[in-house]
Amino acid sequence: MNLSEKAAYIKGLAEGLELDTDKKEARVINELLDLVSEMASDVEDIGADLVDLYDAFEELDRDLGMVEEELYGDMDTLFSDDVYEIVCPNCQESVVLDEEMLIGGDVICPGCGEKIEIEIDTCDCGHDHDM
């Protein structure tokens, strides 16, 4: 039973009491029952709108995912913790590398095709150990 059906059921129960409509108490009860009916209808409308909004959001999210995939490629690889971005010293193009590519040592720039020499400093102490 949805909210509107429940409100109608309660209103029917109140009508079955055959309250004297000339009394203030009966008028208050009838007004409250009308209010409950209107609120139930409004809540059901909001629920239906929410379902529509959720569906539209899901569609937009899928569309945005396709655009991101087209623009950036694999987003999981691009923004994982093990991804690094360097600039090719030959053509100044940005090159995205993962940790495996860095360890392998042979990095070829996709822009100019030149090998990029990479020096890895394994010390995180902040000191210059080349001196």
DSSP reduced 3-state for 97: strand
**Alpha-carbon distance 53 to 39, whole Å?**
21
pLDDT in tens, 66-107: 998 888 876 555 555 677 788 888 899 888 887 777 777 778
pLDDT at 131 over 50: no
Q: For CA atoms 5, 11, 17, 18, give the dihedral sign.
A: negative
- Phi, psi dihedral angles at 68 (to 5 degrees): -60, -45
pTM, rounded to two decimals: 0.46
pLDDT for the residue 2: 92
